[in-house]
Structure 1
Amino acid sequence: MKSVNITFKFSDGKPDQTLSGVQGESVLDVALDNNIQLQHNCGGVCGCSTCHIYVEAGMDDLPEISEKEEDFIDRAIDPRLNSRLACQCVVQGNEDLVVTIPNQDFLGH
């Protein structure tokens, strides 16, 4: 299996973390497997917008965005052109990724 580095940046000022992800894993899976707090109210099945992230690098190595994902991103707070849902960002194994996790304080815990 091919692996890539995924660098997680945090809007709340925590230090960046670079982790390894393998082909077929989602960015959400890698985050959760490494104790990175990333909301995922629907359980990671593209049923909400709580795992919203910004892809800073490596977008070309991710699956094309679906209409369903686009609809949920439109409901996220502060969507941007590089917005994706972490559950839908499945590692292809060709290019390293850099993602920013927006501040999640407003979501409640």
Structure 2
Amino acid sequence: MPVIRILPHAELCPQGDEIEAPAGTSICEALVENGIAIEHACEMSAACTTCHVVVKQGFNSLGELDEIEEDLLDKAWGLTPTSRLSCQAMLSNEDVTIEIPKYTINHARENH
């Protein structure tokens, strides 16, 4: 099973973590199932950017981005060339290392 290494995040995972998840699982599903409460305001339907992560290692193992994900990522805070929506990034058999950005754009939570 591939390992997801999560870099430290002050609120969600202060010490960082390593979790295992079966290939074919989205990064977002794996995080939530292992007690890391990453935001996913659209319930993992690729309709927002709250589950944005930066893939530090293993980016190419996650498959290609589709047009919907690319368009949404343009709105994500802290966008990088290795940004993905964790609800759309499916694990293969390779390990990945991710960083959860410090901020997210969540209009519902911000009362906009």
Q: Whole-Å Cα distance in 2 between the matches of residues 105 and 42 of structure 1? A: 13
Instruction: Note the aligned Cα RMSD (angstroms).
Output: 1.7
Structure 1 or 2: more helix by fraction:
1
Percent identity over the alignment?
A: 28
Give yes or no for contact 1:39–1:104 (8 Å, CA) kept in 2.
no
Moved over 2 A (4+): 10-13, 104-109
1:42-101 CA-partner distances (Å, limit 9, x unpaired): 1001111110000000011101011110111101112111110000110111x1100000
Give yes or no for contact 2:57–2:97 (8 Å, CA) kept in 1.
yes
Residue of structure 1 in register with 2:31 after alignment: 31
Query: How many Å apart are 1:104 and its aligned residue?
Result: 3.6
**TM-score between both structures, scaled by the size of structure 1:** 0.89
Asked if 1:91 is matched to 2:91, the reply is yes
Structure 1 or 2: more strand by fraction:
1
1:9-32 CA-partner distances (Å, limit 9, x unpaired): 134271110000111100001100
Map 1:26-105 onto structure 2 (within 5 A): 26-93=26-93, 95-104=94-103
| Matched residue type, 1:42 | C
